[in-house]
Structure 1
Amino acid sequence: MERFRERIINAEIYKSGRLSGLSFWWVFFVTIFGLLLTINQVFNLRFAGFQLISTAYYYLMIGIFGGLVFLFFPARKNQDRPQIYDWLMTFVWFFCSVWISIKAQYIIDRGWNQGAPIEAVVIATIYVALSLEALRRTGGKFLFIFCLLFATFPLYAGKMPGFLWGVELTFSQTVSEHVFGMEGIIGVPMQVVCDTLIGFLVFGVVLAGTGGGAFFMDFANSLMGSRRGGPAKVAIVSSGLFGSLSGSPTSNVMTTGSLTIPAMIRCGYSPTYAAAVEACASTGGTIMPPVMGTAAFIMASFLNVPYSHVVVSAFIPAVFYYVFLILQTDCYAARKGLRGLPTEELPSLRTTLLGGWYYLVALIILTFMLLMMPAQNEVPYWVSLFLIVIALFRRHSLRFDMRRFVTLVVEIGQSIAQIVGLIAGIGLIIGSMSITGVANSFSRELVQIAGDNLWLLLLVGAFTSFVLGIGMTASACYIFLAIVLAPALVQIGIDPMAAHLYIFYWGMVSFITPPVALAAIAASTIAKANPIVTGFYALRVGSLLFLLPVIFILEPALLLRGSWSALIQAVLTTTLAVFLLSAAVEGFFWRVGLLGYVSRLILGISGLCFLVPGWKTDIIAIFLFVLFLIGGFLRINGKSIYKSG
């Protein structure tokens, strides 16, 4: 028995990141327990008569998965193994959560959020401190400092000027509201994570862990790898598919970019351009249904609509963004005379589909059930089960053995731990803004400053979203602005769905915008290109990402809000705009060939006019486009005015 135990703990094959041996197996069994608890709660199984009230369940999830943050993520970068204090914080957070969970109903009945006994205040203080430390490890120093300022905001809210003034609380009242109140750590974002998002995180890890990422890469290669500039199109499609499930632009770049970027460079794309394409494609995965990362689920909860409404509304703008990327890379390849990869080096479409048809079936089932089933939080578990069953039947070809299953469970634990650690800390922001009353006053003040001026408010919203997005995750940025900015946009008459998607889009653009441009920098390291130059290239390649939020604010029909006639007109004009803008950006037009600066300017203005709703701008756009077409075939002094110099 002792020899068996030693072999299990010390086996080098059971490793995941900084975990190995005892820490690895602890995470495995704790994750299994947490998933069983989640399934019992989500499916309302009442296994052995056991069913927790919702708040008790939320606290246990924080204790189980939040505690794992300290094992997965080091306190300092140079620590490659969990330290004694990591284990200590893991157990302290777990036992504090168990203590609160046991007293969950009593806490509600006695109103501990407004007045708790001394021992509860001590527990709450520890809870807040651990939440902030978990946030620091998973979200970085900027987000930690930002949350720390807001977590302590109720202590000095009464001394703040103007619209920042709020109700001031004592220290014990503040930590009690954060921990025992329903608008703090266990507020709406954490409720969404525990009730819905855990299932989708499981699905994402299972899909990748059973070979889904490799299949999507082969699938895209077999479809477009041999086309003009094929590797770039493969990067866009595969990164879009994978990114819609992972929800993290940077991790998407590091996962798919390690394959797509070298292939693009080999095809003839410059390292800088290849890195920019991958960064933009990976960033766009967060806006692409059906999963769209964390923020979309929280958005559905804030809007009080089914998640399927968010998916349907976000679909058309996301498709336009990826069409724009594909058209751009095609124009670039045509301008540079780039070809695709040799056919003999690419996988066969038939072989690829025969070997991985079930991944496409899984995505189809997921999308169909999300749109049709009322209990959407159950959907990802069924699809994950489907993939695991398929993996077991094909375990030899997929190499899906017990070792891979155990590692998969640990990866699921890491994925859930990261999001729980982030959301627990972000909950402190929401709690502070709510209990002090500043959230409402902030929105009212914004509307008064803007004076019902839509463009001024949109400009303020875009700037705020962009600045916060520099140091935050897209989810953290969205949650904060959904509290303080979205109500102001709705108050002046903007469609609620459009308002929330607007701040979500603008919170993401920092991933491809210098000086931060995290996705572009990650891609540049793979391509061995200059990070700043890559960021500016990404700014050009992904330029439609800056325009789309403004367009669907002005034309909600793109979000399927309104009549069919308005939708058809909006789709038609936006399609023309995307086609013209991609040609203008890259300086190449079908049948006309290379374009000079004058022609690109005319084409670009025409595309922008098509984007702006209204028949007057459409007429201007058509006139400019016809002018371009006529000029393209006229020659002045024997040379087309549209030939590049």
Structure 2
Amino acid sequence: MTSLVLALTWTIRAAIQLAAVALAGLAVYAAAFGVFDVTRFTAITVGLATTIGFLMLSLGESSTLDVGTAEPPRPVPADLPRMALHLALATFSAWALWDWADVMLRQEAFFIRIAPMQFALGWAAIAAIGYLVLRFFGPVMLLVYVAAAVFILLPGDWGGAGVSWTRVANNLWFSTDGVFGRPVEVVSRVVLIFIVFGAVLQASGAGDVLLRMAFAATGRFAGGPAHAAILGSSFFGTLSGSPIANVVSTGVFTIPIIKRAGFTPRFAGAVEAAASTGGQIMPPVMGVVAFLMADVTGIPYLHIITAALIPAILYYLSLFVVVYIEARRLGIEPTRAADLPRITGIDWLRSLAFWVPLGVIIYVLMTGRTAQNAGFYALASALVLCLAFFPGFRDPRRWWSALAEAGRTSALLMIIVAAIGFVIGVINMSGIGLRFAEGVLALADTSLIMALLLVMGACLIMGMGVPTGAAYLLIAIVLGPALQRLGVPLIAAHLFVVYFGVLSVVTPPVALAAFAAAPIAGAKPMETGVEALRLAVAGFVIPFLFVFHHDLLLIVPGFSLAGLAWALALFVVATWMLATALGGWEGRRLALPERLARGAAGLVAIHPDPRLSLPALAATAALVALNARGLRRLALDPTPTRQGGETR
């Protein structure tokens, strides 16, 4: 029995590797030459993704053996029933997708009648996707998925849409409006090539070079290792489709160094989680969400990354501020010059493997080519440079490993966007999206701030446990129109949704990025999540800031430099007040009443009504002056007391 299980395990692992590489190769082909046939391409892409998912589940959690190596299969618990179940589900999934493609291709030629058994098959396939969602993305996303299915079928007298099960199967399975709708099309055609691109850079060693350069650039500041983690994670976070993947890949290097500098384990994990999360809002790639937004809104990609640039920079500046305050509070000194990594000419040369492809992306898009073309040319340039500058990457096994990792990541993304497609199909078919938007407006009673708070809460809940791109697609369809009806510009409304969809991964109780960082840091997950939320607090302010002060987005009609300067000044004030309030330190320990006053003043300062913002700004000035007076008293006191390791 043991030999049978080992042989079957090795075979399944090999199949996972082959299917993952095939999926990555399909993404490269589509980006280079286009989609050969929409129906066949969609069926193959989704089929490979679901097959990879079921095969991974058949092996439980240990499914990472590289077939290209000589390493023998590792023993696994004998669990033939589990393997048999998931192999059967993989076979069923392939059959269902074959039937779907057959029906869709025959419908292109002439009208056909779909049999009730095929409708039942479609519902069974929808249920199988729900099972994959549960196993890979947790009960929260499954609840959304099941709620959509129940609502569309529930009779109108019971509060549902009352649509027949055959019509739902016809519209949301045997069509291109549901499971195989726009999300699947855009992600498979545009997004997957950038996942391959990021995997190649990571496998080549370009990430290590960027981290070394980040440490060299920031080591002279108090808390330098934490600053370096922020800088390095921002580079790779913009390419990664997942903050969690970025935490795991870069955190194993950055988190131990942050701890050695003197920061607590939970703070070290929180820094990596907050920085990796911010990569999803950092141009030019924005974790591929920029391309999705361009498709959904019709706004040119270059306009989107222009609008997103200043808010993203402000987010990372706020992280630097919080780290600086924490370092000063703990008395952490800058890294000694002798301990800083030396950046050589070869390091600068190797860094071109990152910078040149980013330039290629922007250049190709400026010439009017498609986003997938830009991704292909960026990948081609990265491959050439990585092969030239990183000798270890010339080993074909490294190429295979990079493609396999990209394929596995792509498979999970395709699974969730198929589920999101079903939910969006239900929204469009039932009209509930419009009713939800009207409900938000009614609850807000035409108050923009109340509507923004309601949308923020919905985004944080609906984005829990879902990749950024998929979360954006789900949330934007439902909540974007509500903000636009309150007069929020289109780009501001969609960026608002993106920000809070992204921030859901550092917001307890489902702070997945922080929970991924906690084991690496040796900290408790929930404590790391709370700390990450504190670090990312400016991310909760920035969306309100650019909704109230549109000049921050640069491309909104009526832009003025004076308005931009005013928005930036408000951000500096709000960020400093909130950072010092949450950190409890500004050269000295701050008492609780002073911290509360700072937090309130920082939040109110960004309000668009000057009757509120101006008094708040006056209050911030008074609080800063009060603190300066306290610092002068401490300087004159020859016998300062110490409490808890901190000077009072």
Task: Tell me which residue corresponds to 1:101.
Answer: 101
Task: Tell me which residue corresponds to 1:69.
Answer: 53
Residue type matched to 2:560 in 1? Answer: W
Q: Distance in 1 between matches of 2:11 and 2:234?
A: 37
Q: Does 1:357 align with 2:352?
A: yes
Q: Distance in 2 between matches of 1:337 and 1:581?
A: 21
Task: Tell me which residue corresponds to 2:496.
Answer: 502
Residue type matched to 2:575 in 1? Answer: V
Q: Cα 1:370–1:588, aligned 2, differ >3 Å: closer, same or farther?
A: farther
Q: Distance in 2 between matches of 1:264 and 1:19?
A: 42
Task: Tell me which residue corresponds to 2:380.
Answer: 385
Q: Distance in 2 between matches of 1:99 and 1:418?
A: 22
TM-score (normalizing by structure 2): 0.85
Alpha-carbon distance, 1:558 to partner: 1.7
Paired residues of 2:269 and 2:517 also in contact (CA < 8 A): yes
Q: Distance in 1 between matches of 2:568 and 2:109?
A: 53
Q: Distance in 1 between matches of 2:440 and 2:322?
A: 38
Paired residues of 1:320 and 1:578 also in contact (CA < 8 A): no
Alpha-carbon distance, 1:157 to partner: 4.6
Unaligned 5+ residue runs, structure 2?
64-75, 641-646
Alpha-carbon distance, 1:313 to partner: 2.0
Q: Cα 1:559–1:471, aligned 2, differ >3 Å: closer, same or farther?
A: same
Q: What is the SS of the residue equivalent to 1:180?
A: coil
Paired residues of 1:271 and 1:527 also in contact (CA < 8 A): yes
Q: Distance in 1 between matches of 2:283 and 2:58?
A: 33
Counterparts of 1:75-114 in structure 2, within 5 Å, are 76-77=60-61, 83-108=83-108
Paired residues of 1:188 and 1:298 also in contact (CA < 8 A): no
Paired residues of 1:610 and 1:617 also in contact (CA < 8 A): yes
Of 470-479 and 257-266, deviating more is 470-479
Report Cα offsets for 1:23-43 as digits up to 9, x if no partner.
444445445554555455444
Alpha-carbon distance, 1:203 to partner: 0.9
Q: Distance in 1 between matches of 2:548 and 2:412?
A: 36
Of 608-617 and 508-517, deviating more is 608-617
Q: What is the SS of the residue equivalent to 1:349?
A: coil
Of 379-388 and 358-367, deviating more is 358-367
Alpha-carbon distance, 1:327 to partner: 1.3
Counterparts of 1:279-298 in structure 2, within 5 Å, are 279-298=273-292
Unaligned 5+ residue runs, structure 1?
1-9, 13-17
Q: Cα 1:548–1:531, aligned 2, differ >3 Å: closer, same or farther?
A: same
Q: Does 1:188 align with 2:185?
A: no
Report Cα offsets for 1:254-302 as digits up to 9, x if no partner.
2222222211111111222222222221222222222222544333322
Paired residues of 2:195 and 2:241 also in contact (CA < 8 A): no
Task: Tell me which residue corresponds to 1:211.
Answer: 205
Q: Cα 1:110–1:623, aligned 2, differ >3 Å: closer, same or farther?
A: same
Q: Distance in 1 between matches of 2:634 and 2:607?
A: 34
Counterparts of 1:507-546 in structure 2, within 5 Å, are 507-546=501-540
Residue type matched to 2:89 in 1? Answer: M
Q: Distance in 1 between matches of 2:631 and 2:43?
A: 75
What count of residue pairs does the alignment treat as equivalent? Answer: 615
| Aligned alpha-carbon RMSD (Å) | 3.3
Of 199-208 and 140-149, deviating more is 140-149
Q: Distance in 1 between matches of 2:626 and 2:144?
A: 55
Paired residues of 1:450 and 1:457 also in contact (CA < 8 A): yes
Alpha-carbon distance, 1:85 to partner: 3.8
Alpha-carbon distance, 1:324 to partner: 0.6
Q: Distance in 1 between matches of 2:222 and 2:240?
A: 28
Q: Does 1:175 align with 2:177?
A: no
Within the candidate set 483, 490, 494, 1:489 is matched to 483
Within the candidate set 260, 267, 272, 1:266 is matched to 260
Report Cα offsets for 1:608-641 as digits up to 9, x if no partner.
4543345555644554455456545557995579
Q: Cα 1:136–1:362, aligned 2, differ >3 Å: closer, same or farther?
A: same
Q: Distance in 2 between matches of 1:367 and 1:641?
A: 56
Alpha-carbon distance, 1:595 to partner: 5.4
Q: What is the SS of the residue equivalent to 1:245?
A: coil
Alpha-carbon distance, 1:119 to partner: 5.2
Residue type matched to 2:175 in 1? Answer: G
Q: Distance in 2 between matches of 1:200 and 1:355?
A: 20
Q: Distance in 1 between matches of 2:108 and 2:206?
A: 44
Q: Cα 1:111–1:258, aligned 2, differ >3 Å: closer, same or farther?
A: farther
TM-score (normalizing by structure 1): 0.86
Within the candidate set 309, 312, 318, 1:315 is matched to 309
Paired residues of 1:128 and 1:175 also in contact (CA < 8 A): no
Paired residues of 1:72 and 1:414 also in contact (CA < 8 A): no
Within the candidate set 373, 376, 383, 2:371 is matched to 376
Paired residues of 2:251 and 2:520 also in contact (CA < 8 A): yes
Q: Distance in 1 between matches of 2:580 and 2:361?
A: 35
Q: Does 1:553 align with 2:547?
A: yes
